[in-house]
A and B are shown apart, each in its own frame.
Chain A
């Protein structure tokens, strides 16, 4: 019985697929369940003895060797299969050679959809250029409320706070927040009311300073711009929270904009803002924090609304066209998901009656796309 189990067990060493080289993967099949561990040994063509490089995973049934592998060189593997009573050595006769691939095939579906999506966005940008009047974008109450919030803050003679999230400039939500800041700063410059921008990231602070400066210049009030009001606080999550909360409690702002990517501090900030009586407009791409903002703020930009904010506010046909194209891309994706769900359900029903053809087609489609 033991001999049969050992004979059925097999291992294969191959170049790790879809990678940048310098890696070999060993895959195991039909490994007996009573195996305690499997040691992986390796040698090159020049070596005479094997050297242990690691342990084969009995969970994923594979081992990826990234230890000083050179592309184009032949590597021979031996596996020490340890049973409770004995150890059996398995030699993989065929050597493995690592190479780098020019295309990651697992991302083919992403590339296809990216091309389709980009084509749709570009198409709608062109359509928007030709017919700017033919675009309809639904109302976003949180963006319409910006003027109301700043106006209220001005009437009360209180400052307006713009609180950035905790991500750096590489985050799309942060970039969207900066574009929104420009609009807020311009309105504030027109109303001649104080603005305080708090930053978690110094690069975001630098970008914010430039953005606010430009907004004040556009509003014809470059003299009113004060760089000291766009401040960096700290790079510690709750230190930043304490800093912003302290400023809110002392300055008592009339309007607060919480924009960007937030983590656990979202509710602490929003509740403090509510406690000081400010009108609050939040916007985040952090789905987990959205309910907290919805509960504690007056208006919320939910996910992609924040990303579309600059287009909505700017009202430029080209920008609105990109939003329209993105919506159509979403419609295509919904259609694809719907088609897959329908096909999978029908295939499942047919399989239960003994007909497997459609399920095979479905599985093939899923593996390719």
Chain B
């Protein structure tokens, strides 16, 4: 019983205090939310160790069992070791591992960032494949989507203006009226749903997040 009562009481108190601080700017209330975020950051720092532990154990198991594709786990351990060693050397040499001339930042800037950019660049190909499937005119709704998409795509490029000078204003109308209205409706729904969910959490009605 206590196992759930104490977390529920903490949730209730924290929730109520955070709601109150939104309306009361006077100290000490005004700064409570910022202070709570600092505590969250401290907790986050400790849980990061748990995260690394989880990742190491996951890959160690793969290597131990010699599972298919376990060489990816070898790469993971090499990457982890490289980050740790370069971070340590940079810290000892420059007093700060994040100095631009440090080996740690060299690997970050010239290995990690290009790899991330490559992943991001893949998005262009995925947009093409997803668009192909979404815009196939299988029924009336899909056909309307296809027509709208063609208008919007043409209206956003100079060639569209050259084809018909009214395409850009029609595109703007589609984006600002047809698209924005439902989008705002969804956003209002999310905001109210968030308030309702917060109420359920604060009042202890929603308990599924507690084990």
Contact = CB atoms under 8 A, between A and B. Distances in A.
Interface of A: 18-21, 100-104, 107, 110-111, 114, 117-118, 121-122, 125, 168, 170, 172, 175-176, 178-179, 182, 199, 201-203, 205-207, 210-211, 213-214, 227-228, 230-233, 235-239, 241-242, 246, 250, 264-265, 267-268, 270-271, 285, 287, 290, 292, 294-296, 302-304, 306-308, 310-311, 314, 318-319, 322-323, 325-326, 329-330, 333
Contact of A228 (B61, B120, B193, B208): B61
Interface in B16-40: 19, 22-27, 30-31, 40
Interface of B: 19, 22-27, 30-31, 40, 43-44, 47-48, 50-52, 54-55, 57-58, 61, 68-69, 72, 112, 115-117, 119-120, 122-123, 126-127, 129-131, 133-134, 183, 186-190, 192-201, 205-206, 208-209, 211
Contact of A326 (B112, B115, B119, B196): B196
Given A20-B31, A211-B209, A295-B134, A102 B188 contact: no
Contacts of B48: 202, 235
Contacts of B22: 104, 107, 110
A295 B123 contact: no
Given A287-B187, A303-B189, A231 B205 contact: no
A230 B54 CA distance: 8
Nearest to B122: A268
Contacts of A121: 196, 199
Contacts, number: 195
A76 B209 CA distance: 54
Contacts of B43: 203
A231 B50 CA distance: 10
30 contacts: A20-B26, A101-B26, A102-B26, A104-B24, A104-B25, A114-B195, A117-B192, A117-B196, A170-B40, A172-B193, A199-B51, A202-B51, A203-B47, A205-B51, A231-B54, A238-B117, A242-B119, A250-B69, A264-B120, A265-B119, A267-B123, A285-B193, A287-B187, A290-B186, A294-B134, A295-B134, A296-B130, A303-B186, A314-B208, A323-B196
Contacts of A176: 197
Scoring B19, B40, B129, B199 by chain A CB atoms within 10 A of each residue's CB, the highest score goes to B199
Contacts of B200: 311, 319, 322
Contact of A100 (B25, B112, B123): B25
Contacts of B208: 178-179, 182, 211, 310, 314
State the majority secondary structure of interface residues on B.
helix
Given A178-B209, A268-B123, 18 more contacts: A20-B26, A170-B40, A172-B198, A175-B197, A202-B44, A205-B54, A206-B47, A228-B57, A235-B51, A239-B116, A264-B120, A264-B123, A267-B123, A304-B190, A307-B193, A308-B193, A322-B196, A333-B188
Contacts of B30: 19-20, 100
Contact of A232 (B19, B50, B68, B198): B50
Given A114-B195, A121-B196, A211-B208, A330 B24 contact: no
A292 B127 CA distance: 8
Q: Which 10 A-B pairs have the closest CB atoms?
A: A304-B193, A202-B51, A232-B51, A20-B30, A326-B196, A307-B193, A210-B211, A238-B119, A295-B134, A202-B47
Contacts of B19: 114
A275 to B, nearest CB: 8
A322 B194 contact: no
A294 B61 CA distance: 36
A202 B41 CA distance: 12
B202 to A, nearest CB: 10
B44 A100 contact: no
A206 B52 CA distance: 12
Contacts of A265: 119
Contacts of A102: 24-26
Contacts of B193: 172, 285, 303-304, 306-308, 326
A102 B40 CA distance: 26
A179 B206 CA distance: 9
B116 A100 contact: no
Given A107-B23, A228-B58, A295-B134, A322 B50 contact: no
B138 to A, nearest CB: 13
B196 A329 contact: yes
Nearest to B37: A170
A282 to B, nearest CB: 12
B25 A307 contact: no
Contacts of A231: 54-55, 58
A182 B209 CA distance: 8
A104 B23 CA distance: 5
B23 A101 contact: no
Contacts of B205: 125, 318-319, 322
A20 B198 CA distance: 25
Contacts of A295: 130-131, 133-134
